[in-house]
């Protein structure tokens, strides 16, 4: 009886269902026709049932010269051999592979009955400098060997990971400009003219919406800029290489926005400067992902590096707390708040962790993603109403805007 998943062929040729098998998005690339010809010539499905025996299909793939990426070939074989019924249905395979990294595909790979060939990526030899760097990034970021091999063979420079680099360059340029103007490079916030910048978030300028984002380009001094720039380059660039510019920029900007909004609710008299909200979103997401996948992570000295990162992040929070509660100069007003650090960490542990755990998977199809998005939107709406009404209702004495 024909398979209910079989794909009809308009020309009624014997290769109809076999052709459907290889309509896999990006899997066979330019070798689609050669695979189809091989399948037809070997008469793997003479009765046109829509099924191919696992042994026959595996033999076809393994014993012919096919120009497939090694990771794609390994995953295809593992997926096929995970079938307990001993036969492969064309359309089911197409549905599994069409998104390449769907949850069902990952489960099929995980439940496969064979070990993938060339299992350890570290065994790859003869790699150039760039490919060695890509392999290093794979082991730094991804906890699963299958994911690491997939990323290694699929890595492309288009689009390039430019978001973190551009943000860092702009932050350095802005800091240099204000350092020259103020003739001060450490604790610039003690200069009254610093708060006059149109980039700083100040509670007296809440109506200027861009300040809720633009404050990330201003920094207290060289110490904060150096810490943020170093962390976001060391962690943000590898994350952007693996997970893409869209997801990492979304996470970074969500941390920045959450930082300024949290300060406007919890520390209503304080200004905010620095990109710590975005930096802590990236760092906390990465650290949480490492902890939750501790056994699978293969980065060297991970415990020592984890402790060092936590000490550095805690020290930066301590510096920010000290600065906030240090006696302000009469002309400068309250010092910047530290709440952006904490809210950025919360964004990283929630939204960021889900993003990092969903490598090459669709976020829109995950219920937990929509729960997080709904929660963030709810917080955003609450913060908007708070900024509109709460300051007047509570009679908050805001320092006069510079």
Residue 72 to residue 79: CA distance in whole angstroms:
10
Q: Which of 197, 264, 276, 332 is catalytic?
A: 276
pLDDT band for position 398 (cuts 50, 70, 90): confident
- The phi and psi torsions of 91 (rounded to 5 degrees) equal -70, -35
Least confident of 61-75, 93-107, 238-252, 298-312: 93-107
Q: What is the pLDDT of residue 348?
A: 96
* 60 neighbors 39 (Cβ within 8 angstroms): yes
- The phi and psi torsions of 289 (rounded to 5 degrees) equal -65, -40
Q: Which of 202, 243, 286, 341 is catalytic?
A: 341
Mean pLDDT across the chain: 78
320-368 per-position pLDDT tens digit: 999 898 866 655 678 899 999 999 999 999 999 999 988 878 888 889 9
Least confident of 9-13, 96-100, 162-166: 9-13
pLDDT band for position 91 (cuts 50, 70, 90): low
294-324 per-position pLDDT tens digit: 988 888 888 999 999 999 999 999 999 998 9
Q: What is the pLDDT of residue 74?
A: 62
Q: What is the pLDDT of residue 331?
A: 59
Residue 54 to residue 1: CA distance in whole angstroms:
19
Confirm whether 197 is a catalytic residue. Answer: no
- Domains of the chain by residue range: 1-117, 163-394
pLDDT band for position 46 (cuts 50, 70, 90): low
Q: Does domain 163-394 have CATH number 1.20.1540.10?
A: yes
103-132 per-position pLDDT tens digit: 444 444 444 433 344 456 666 677 888 888
Confirm whether 341 is a catalytic residue. Answer: yes
Q: Which helix (H) or strand (E) holds 247?
A: helix 245-266
pTM listed for this prediction: 0.74
Instruction: Report helix, strand or coil for 324.
Output: helix
Q: What is the pLDDT of residue 283?
A: 96
Rounded average pLDDT over 130-137: 89
Radius of gyration of the CA atoms of the chain, in A:
27
Can you say whether the dihedral through the CA atoms of 106, 110, 112, 117 is positive or negative?
positive
Give ∠ CA 204-251-169 in degrees, rounded to 5.
75
Rounded average pLDDT over 206-224: 94
Q: What is the pLDDT of residue 27?
A: 41
Q: What is the pLDDT of residue 248?
A: 96
* 254 neighbors 212 (Cβ within 8 angstroms): no
166-181 per-position pLDDT tens digit: 999 999 999 999 999 9
């Amino acid at each position: 009886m024909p398979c209910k998943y079989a794909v009809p062929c308009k020309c009624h040729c014997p290769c109809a269902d076999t052709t459907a098998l290889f309509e896999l998005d990006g899997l066979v690339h330019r070798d689609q026709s050669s695979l189809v010809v091989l399948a037809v010539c070997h008469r793997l499905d003479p009765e046109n049932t829509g099924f191919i025996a696992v042994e026959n299909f595996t033999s076809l793939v393994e014993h012919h010269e096919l120009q497939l990426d090694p990771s794609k070939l390994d995953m295809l074989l593992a997926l096929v051999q995970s079938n307990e019924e001993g036969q492969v249905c064309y359309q089911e395979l197409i549905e599994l592979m069409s998104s390449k990294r769907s949850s069902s595909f990952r489960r099929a790979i995980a439940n496969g009955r064979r070990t993938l060939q060339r299992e350890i990526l570290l065994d790859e030899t003869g790699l150039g400098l760039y490919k060695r760097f890509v392999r290093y990034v794979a082991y730094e970021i991804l906890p699963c060997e299958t994911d690491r091999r997939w990323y290694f063979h699929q890595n492309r420079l288009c689009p390039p990971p430019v978001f973190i680099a551009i943000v860092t360059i702009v932050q350095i340029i802005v800091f240099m400009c204000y350092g020259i103007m103020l003739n001060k490079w450490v604790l610039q916030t003690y200069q009254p003219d610093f708060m006059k910048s149109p980039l700083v978030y100040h509670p007296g300028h809440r109506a200027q919406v861009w300040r809720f984002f633009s404050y990330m380009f201003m920094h207290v001094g060289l110490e904060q800029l150096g810490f943020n720039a170093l962390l976001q380059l060391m962690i943000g660039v590898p994350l952007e290489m693996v997970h893409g510019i869209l997801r990492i920029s979304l996470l970074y900007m969500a941390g920045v926005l959450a930082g300024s909004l949290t300060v406007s609710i919890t520390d209503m008299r304080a200004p905010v400067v620095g990109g710590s909200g975005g930096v802590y979103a990236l760092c906390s997401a990465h650290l949480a992902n490492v902890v939750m996948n501790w056994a699978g992570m293969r980065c060297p000295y991970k415990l020592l590096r984890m402790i060092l990162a936590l000490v550095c992040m805690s020290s930066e929070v301590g510096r920010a707390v000290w600065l906030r509660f240090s006696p302000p100069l009469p002309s400068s007003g309250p010092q910047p708040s530290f709440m952006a650090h904490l809210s950025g960490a919360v964004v990283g542990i929630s939204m960021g962790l889900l993003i990092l755990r969903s490598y090459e998977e669709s976020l829109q199809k995950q219920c937990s993603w929509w729960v997080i998005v709904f929660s963030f939107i709810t917080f955003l709406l609450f913060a908007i109403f708070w900024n509109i009404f709460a300051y007047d209702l509570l009679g908050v004495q805001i320092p006069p805007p510079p």
